[in-house]
Structure 1
Amino acid sequence: MPPVLKTKSLQHEKFGKEPSIIEKDGDLQIKRSPSSPQGGPKKRSAFEDLTNAKQSQAQILITKRKGGKVVNKKTQKGCIGQEALQNNENRKSTGSKASQDRLDNAKEKSPKTPEVPEEKSDAVAKSAEVQPTPYEDVDEENLNDPFLNAIYAKDIFDYMKEREMKFVLKGYMEKQPDLNIEMRAILVDWMVEVQENFELNHETLYLAVKLVDHFLSKAVCMRETLQLLGSTAILIAAKFDERCPPCMDDFLYICDDAYQREELLAMEVNILRTLKFDINVPVAYRFLRRYAKCARANLETLTLARYICELTLQEYEFIWESASKLASSCLLLALKMKDLGGWTPTLQHYTGYQFTDLHSLMRRLNLLLYSKPNERLKAVRYKYAHKVFFEVAKIPPLDVLNLEEQLKLNNI
């Protein structure tokens, strides 16, 4: 029997005041997520050009005069005259015959200019003129805003993709004698409710689930401490990602005082030591916001991709998928469901994945949308069925045959 998670005030009455939530949600999208397709704060250039590239020519001339000596015109003419006389004497000493021989030899040895075929030269010129830019620079428009760090954006996400190789997960449930896949899904469903009630960032939820999976892959956990593991993982993720994380008493309260403060602190130390304090795990949500911006997707399309991606948190079979590939597949499936095109060269450049690399994962995600929801796992579907999230949970998935036709066409 799976454990019954004790909880307090985790009801869905939080959606009672629609206008205030919509206004607050919109504010959060702008305030907390400057990389979203809706844009970030108002652009403001905080610094001027701090280089000396605009140095005047007068200053350059002054510095040159300071470094060297001023040459007098008379001495300059005298030097030129002496050089001319010396050259004339050298010419007379060489003799007319020798000079004529040198001219003849130079004519014979001078290489002929190669004739370039007209067709080849025209092709090279056309290729140089017509060759377009393969992708769009999505960060160019934000270079003047120091708060967006657009100049470092691509390097940051390339570094996150490199770190993915360090956090590859494999199946671990066979190592847990007292847990099963259903218990993990129930725990994640409860963590989604906690994230909603505390109004935490979605990055906090994704990171907390990653911490749970990585801890369970390295340590044994019993079912009576599974909820303690989940709440402590949210506490650590909130400290890592939130500006104002909830206090410890809040986590004890949502667990219905089933655990003591000392147990929560001991679990926090245990998780950090087991993971060697390396908790900066790349999560799919960060990649998803970045790739949606590269695709110029609107907020509704991004929310649909978020819904698909958040459904995978409860599924054990998706834990070994890399975060960047999962985000790419969710965004591509959302674009197909909204009939907004396919995988563009810009997305291929920034994600590093080709269209064919996402085929199998897209099929699995579409089947996940088709699957009948579990009666005990309603948090994600209920959350995204509300009008705050554009009711994207009610959008029907792609027809399987239609999806297969689009994959075969491979018309990007």
Structure 2
Amino acid sequence: MASRAVVVVPHQLQREEGKQKKVAGEGKNRQVLQDISNLVVTAPAAQGKINAKLPAPSEKNKKPVIGIINGGPTAGKSGVAKKAEAAVNEKSAVSGRKSREGASRKNARAFTSILSARSKAACGLTSKPKDPKVDIDAADADNELAVVEYLDEIYQFYKLTEDENRVHEYMALQPEINAKMRSILVDWLIEVHHKFELMPETLYLTINLVDRFLSVKVVPRRELQLVGISSMLLASKYEEIWAPEVNDFVCISDNAYGKEKVLVMEKAILGKLGWCLTVPTTYVFLVRYIKASSAPSDDELMENMVYFLAELSLMHYSATILYCPSMMAASAVYVARCTLDRTPFWTETLKHHTGYSEDELMDCAKLFHTFHSAAADSKLKAVYNKFCSPQHGAVALLSPAGGNLSAK
């Protein structure tokens, strides 16, 4: 059946217009429908929209439905059709309102979050991105001698075994020796080590052997220097490619001890320590932690400062008995970074490789800071003079950390 055009009566338009004004007055928050002109649609098109929501009417009751889109006057509509069309229009209006509200809520910030952000900014608590953890072994990936695949496991093993050969309070067992005498011996051994141009590993192992032997054997004062040169002889044989001869140590001690006495003491040290020379000294950890501190590039000034602080700590008995080698190495790196103003003072990379947080290092770091502050005025100047030379960056001449560390 062909569709018929519907003529809209003027008084119907007036009633419909009044009805729309009344609805707009009752609810101002409802969206105003847009006027997209009085397009007249035929019954099949309108019926298609209705049938999307309602079951298809029977052929008997089917009537042509003609109306104006978006709320215009309608003619020939059944009551169900009018309700359905009104529901569709209302649904579209509500959905439009919700979409606008959702967009505005999405873009708007809550008042509480704005106040919190301003408070944090005023207190200096604005969150800063963490420094990324650096792969310090990336440059050595192709170096077979670096054994990058095993480094993490090796240092985990060092951390587990460092307490096995660590010395504790032993001066109470030595009736003729005190901490000051030990400091004088270590100062002299550092000077001998520097004169013989030995490897750093040799120095740290020498001091380890001296302390371990003194912790298990009572030594007369007259033999303390003999223990020192015999320990350095052992460490040189263990670490050096070309170790000094026994006569070199006899000569450097001004012939205070003969060759036979040096060899007898060497044998006594090995016997008391069970021939155990493979121990994780502070130097073992220093190498790794300096690499973690300087990554991704080398920093010679930082390296010299760390070694300066670490060798200062070798002379102090208090540091040796209070802290394990790994903590002493980590503290030396931390104080060096504070002294040279390398910010941040403690990074995520260092925390990962050392296993220590900044707070855990603070007591040991303050002790190292004390050693640095007193180095220039100390009578024992072997370490200070060594690191005043340009060869070691003259780091001993730099001012201590000051406010960077003392303020903590």
From 246, 249, 255, the counterpart of 2:247? 249
2:109 aligns with none
Identity, % of aligned pairs? 35
Does structure 2 conserve the Cα–Cα contact (< 8 Å) formed by 1:189 and 1:380? Answer: yes
Deviations 1:110-134 (A, max 9, x none): xxxxxxxxxxxxxxxxxxxxx9996
From 331, 334, 338, the counterpart of 1:332? 334
Deviations 1:289-344 (A, max 9, x none): 21111122501111001101100111110112111111111101111111111211
Which amino acid in structure 1 is aligned with residue 302 of structure 2? T
From 355, 360, 383, the counterpart of 2:363? 360
Q: Which runs of 5+ in 1 are unaligned?
A: 1-130, 408-412
From 219, 222, 225, the counterpart of 2:223? 225
Change (3 A) 1:373 1:175: farther
| CA distance in structure 1 between the partners assigned to 2:405 and 2:173 by the alignment | 37
2:193 aligns with 195
Counting only pairs closer than 5 Å after superposition, residues 13-412 of structure 1 correspond to structure 2 as 135-296=133-294, 298-320=299-321, 321-341=323-343, 342-371=345-374, 373=376, 376-399=379-402, 401-405=403-407, 407=408
Does structure 2 conserve the Cα–Cα contact (< 8 Å) formed by 1:186 and 1:376? Answer: no
Helix, strand or coil for the counterpart of 2:169? coil
Q: Which has the larger radius of gyration?
A: 2
| CA distance in structure 1 between the partners assigned to 2:259 and 2:168 by the alignment | 32
Does structure 1 conserve the Cα–Cα contact (< 8 Å) formed by 2:338 and 2:404? Answer: no
The TM-score, its normalising length taken from structure 2, stands at 0.65
Does structure 1 conserve the Cα–Cα contact (< 8 Å) formed by 2:313 and 2:319? Answer: yes
Does structure 1 conserve the Cα–Cα contact (< 8 Å) formed by 2:372 and 2:400? Answer: yes
**Per-residue deviation, 1:376:** 3.6
**Per-residue deviation, 1:140:** 2.6
Cα-Cα RMSD: 1.8
Does structure 2 conserve the Cα–Cα contact (< 8 Å) formed by 1:294 and 1:350? Answer: yes
Does structure 1 conserve the Cα–Cα contact (< 8 Å) formed by 2:229 and 2:249? Answer: yes
Q: Which runs of 5+ in 2 are unaligned?
A: 1-128
**Runs of 4+ in structure 1 over 4 Å off:** 131-134, 372-375
| CA distance in structure 2 between the partners assigned to 1:158 and 1:328 by the alignment | 15
Does structure 1 conserve the Cα–Cα contact (< 8 Å) formed by 2:202 and 2:232? Answer: yes
Deviations 1:244-298 (A, max 9, x none): 1111111111112221222111111110110111122211122112111112250
**Per-residue deviation, 1:374:** 5.9
Which of structures 1 and 2 has the larger relative contact order (alpha carbons within 8 angstroms, sep 6+)? Answer: 1
Change (3 A) 1:165 1:379: same
Deviations 1:364-384 (A, max 9, x none): 111221226565411110110
| CA distance in structure 2 between the partners assigned to 1:241 and 1:267 by the alignment | 19
The TM-score, its normalising length taken from structure 1, stands at 0.64
Change (3 A) 1:269 1:346: same
The aligned length equals: 275
| CA distance in structure 1 between the partners assigned to 2:371 and 2:326 by the alignment | 19
| CA distance in structure 2 between the partners assigned to 1:391 and 1:251 by the alignment | 29
Which amino acid in structure 1 is aligned with residue 270 of structure 2? L
Does structure 2 conserve the Cα–Cα contact (< 8 Å) formed by 1:252 and 1:259? Answer: yes
Change (3 A) 1:133 1:337: closer
